[in-house]
Chain A
Amino acid sequence: MNYKTFLAMLWRDAHVARRNFVTLAFQTLLQPMMFVFVFGRVMTTSGLMPPAYKSMLLPGIIGLSMVMSGTWAVAMPLVAEFQFTKEIEDRLLAPIEIEWLAVEKVVAGMIQALVAGLIVIPAAWLVMGSGVALSGDHIARFFMTALLVALLASSLGLVLGCTVGQQHIGLMFSLVLAPMIFFGCTYYPWQALATFPVLKRLVLINPMVYASEGFRSALVPQFPHLPNGLILGGLIVFDVLFIVLGLRQFRRKALT
């Protein structure tokens, strides 16, 4: 592998992301923050939701923001560059195996997902006001979860970006991303599905569940969550699956 080329491509993506920082931040973080405000602040202050909901919600929001920004950061440019602008061709002709370009895209997406997480934690905390009880006892588990979720987000972005046609971006949101968010235990813990036994099992095919429950297990272990082994297993399985699938799709798109 030619590390100079790899770093130059990563630098290019960082440079572009920095230039578009404000737009990117609004695109991926505004919606979760509004949700935090309405449900974490308005509903809890008005007494419609118990105050403990704040702590329950925050890990889900972290997972959601990371997945959205990481997936978006990789998928959207790839859809456009492969199908319309062809900008990516310059990098496909760089002296490096093309698979490394896909890996570089994933690494760049991971960095953006992690940055989104870093922004969202203090921002959501501030918006929700007092009464958020996060535990600092599982720092290692937290960082591990953050890395695996970042990889999940960007490798999913690679799969979608190399699969979805430009005319189907809207469909990708309503058919893939929206169900992922709403059945991803982002706004409620998995345990809350106890009275829906079929759904409770069905949502386990949703990678988002492992992201939200993973952060719940790391930050608010006082609440019920999926067993840690299952969380770790789920994240790793989906990471590997998306990477393998994404690299295959990328190769198909890049070479004729």
Chain B
Amino acid sequence: MDLKSITPVGIRTESLRKIYTSPPPVGGMGTGAARGAKGKAKPAYEVIALDGLTLDVRPGEIFGLLGPNGAGKSTTVGILTTRVKPTSGSAWIGEFNVWERRVDVKRLIGVVPQRPNLDFNLTAREILTFHGAYFGLGSAERNQRADALLERFKLTDRAHHMPIGFSGGMMQRLSIARAMMHDPAVLFLDEPSAGLDPQTRLLLAEMVRDYNARGKTILLTTHNMEEADSLCHRVAIVDHGKMIAIGTPQELKRSVPGGFLVRLHFSNAPAALVPLVEVLRALPGVTEARESGGGQVDLYADRGGVLIPAIVSAATAAGAIIHDVHISEPSLENLFLHHTGRSLRE
């Protein structure tokens, strides 16, 4: 291929804001979407999907956008892939401003959508060859690439089948093969592993790493911490359209105060726990303690299980009854919890 595909291309966004005034595309909907009531009056629909997101994805990097559903991940991908117009702010792929140079941008990117959007009127192989033709590949080249990709994604025996009968995993493999067909410098994967079996997940991770090893930039969105942790060079944690934290998975995990999260459930009324929380905060190794409602107390600490005897004595002294203890190791999940007070899975 030409030089363009050998030189890695970066991604940049600056104060990106997106406010939907009509229902957004599938997968791009914010949480708590205030849908207008049905009726003749104009629906009062306004959802802030992105609220000033600034990102800098380095050329040749595997970058993860981690956040719960409705955090603005798909909207970010929508804007970067020319399909969503930002309300304000701007985005670049390489040297091209995405909204102003849409055709140039489209040449540089490959997109694997959150929901399969395969051309159901074509066979698996035709989906690849036509995609190649849209990108101006000659007949010999697109046939050869299509066959190679079908082979790599273990779809050769289904090459001449219509994808309508394919399993979710097969559709996802075909979507990724299609996105790689024109050898784009930047690959977007929107929730690539959602609903996949473990085998396909492994294949997917392998394909992403292989593709990245060829100097390609990859941006993937996920609400799966393990995936972000194992696959991405750097991760940005987003929530409510804003960036909460950015760094390598290791840096991010280290940034959680203490690292360990000890979650305690008490049978007592929350008000009765206030003095106890003060005592717990003073325990050696505990960096933060807070009452998170419903008789739950979260402790961030630099150690886990060894704290338990001290906690139990403090609780007994305060007349509190512990009915559940959960210890989590340092993880991106804890980081998310620390910043938002909510779990990624909520």
- Interface residues of chain A, those whose CB is within 8 Å of chain B, are 2, 4-5, 8-9, 11-12, 15-16, 19-20, 85-98, 254-256
| Choice from B103, B106, B133 contacting A8 with Cβ under 8 Å | B133
Instruction: Please count how many residues in chain B sit with their CB below 8 Å of the partner chain's CB atoms.
Output: 35
The reply on B85 being an interface residue by CB < 8 A is yes
**Chain A CB within 8 A of B28 CB:** yes
- Whether the pair A256, B83 counts as a contact (CB closer than 8 A) is yes
* B113 interface residue (CB < 8 Å to A): yes
Check B130–A8 contact: CB distance below 8 A.
yes
Complex contact A12–B130 (CB within 8 A): yes
Contacts of B136 in A (CB 8 A): 2, 4-5, 8, 95
Q: Which one of A8, A90, A96, A98 has the greatest number of beta carbons of chain B within 10 Å?
A: A90
- What are 19 sample pairs from A and B whose C-beta atoms fall under 8 A apart? A5-B136, A9-B134, A11-B130, A12-B119, A15-B130, A16-B121, A86-B26, A87-B117, A87-B119, A88-B117, A89-B83, A90-B117, A90-B134, A93-B109, A94-B135, A95-B135, A96-B106, A256-B20, A256-B24
Q: Assess whether B121 is in contact with A8, with CB atoms less than 8 Å apart.
A: no
In the bound assembly, the distance between CA atoms of A91 and B118 in angstroms comes to: 11
Q: Does B118 contact A87, Cβ atoms closer than 8 Å?
A: yes
Residues of B within 8 A of A97 (CB): 102-103
List, in ascending order, chain B residues with CB within 8 A of A2's CB: 103, 136
Contact A255:B84 (CB < 8 A) given known A86-B115, A95-B103: yes
**Measured CA separation A29–B18 after assembly (Å):** 47
Closest to A17 in B: B121
List the 7 shortest-distance A-B pairs measured between CB atoms, nearest first: A8-B133, A86-B117, A94-B134, A16-B121, A89-B117, A4-B136, A95-B107
Choose among B83, B117, B131 the residue that contacts A85 (Cβ–Cβ < 8 A): B117
Q: Are B83 and A86 in contact (CB under 8 A)?
A: no
Shortest CB–CB separation between residue B94 and chain A, in angstroms?
14
Q: Does B82 contact A (CB under 8 A)?
A: yes
Is B10 an interface position by the 8 A CB rule?
A: no
**Residue ID in chain B nearest A80 by CB atoms:** B120
Partner of A90, one of B22, B85, B115, B119: B119
**B270: interface (CB < 8 Å):** no
Which residues from A are CB-within-8-Å of B81? 93
Cβ contacts B56-78/A at 8 Å (1 or 0 each): 00000000000000000000001
Question: Which chain B positions have C-beta within 8 A of A8?
Answer: 130, 133-134, 136
B297 located at the interface, meaning its Cβ lies under 8 Å from any Cβ of chain A in the complex: no
Contact of B113 among A20, A89, A254 (CB under 8 A): A89
Taking a contact as CB atoms under 8 Å apart, the answer to whether A256 and B103 are in contact is no
B120 & A85 in contact (Cβ 8 Å cutoff): yes
Interface of chain A: mostly helix, strand, loop or mixed? helix
**A19 adjacent to B111 (CB under 8 Å):** no
Cβ contact within 8 Å between A93 and B119 = no
CB nearest neighbor in B for A252:
B22
User: How many Å lie between the Cα of A95 and that of B102 in the bound state?
Assistant: 8
Q: Name the CB-closest residue of A to B127.
A: A90
Interface set, chain B 120-166, CB cutoff 8 A to A: 120-122, 126-127, 130-131, 133-136
Answer yes or no: B25 CB below 8 A from chain A CBs. Answer: yes
Q: Which chain A residue has the least Cβ–Cβ distance from B108?
A: A95
The verdict on B178 contacting chain A, using a C-beta distance below 8 Å, is yes
Partner of B83, one of A15, A92, A94: A92
Q: Which residues of B contact A15 (CB under 8 A)?
A: 122, 126, 130
Chain A residues whose C-beta falls within 8 Å of the C-beta of B25 in the assembled complex: 256
Q: Chain A residues near B121 (CB, 8 Å)? A: 16, 19-20, 87
A255 CB → nearest B CB, Å: 6
- Complex Cα gap A89–B78 (Å): 11
- With both beta carbons as reference points, the residue of chain B lying nearest to A88 in the complex is identified as B117
Separation of A2 and B135 alpha carbons in the complex (Å): 10
Q: What is the bound-complex CA distance between A135 and B121, given in angstroms? A: 41
Which residue in chain B gives the minimum CB-CB distance to A87? B119
Residues from chain A with a CB closer than 8 A to the CB of B119 are 12, 87, 90
Contact of A95 with B120 in the complex, beta carbons under 8 Å: no
Residues of the B chain whose Cβ atoms lie less than 8 Å from the Cβ of A19 = 121
Q: Which residue of B lies closest to A16 (CB)?
A: B121
Which B residues are CB-close (under 8 A) to A93? Answer: 81-83, 106, 109, 111
Give complex CA distance A95, B105 in Å. 8
Q: CA–CA, A208 to B244, complex, Å? A: 58
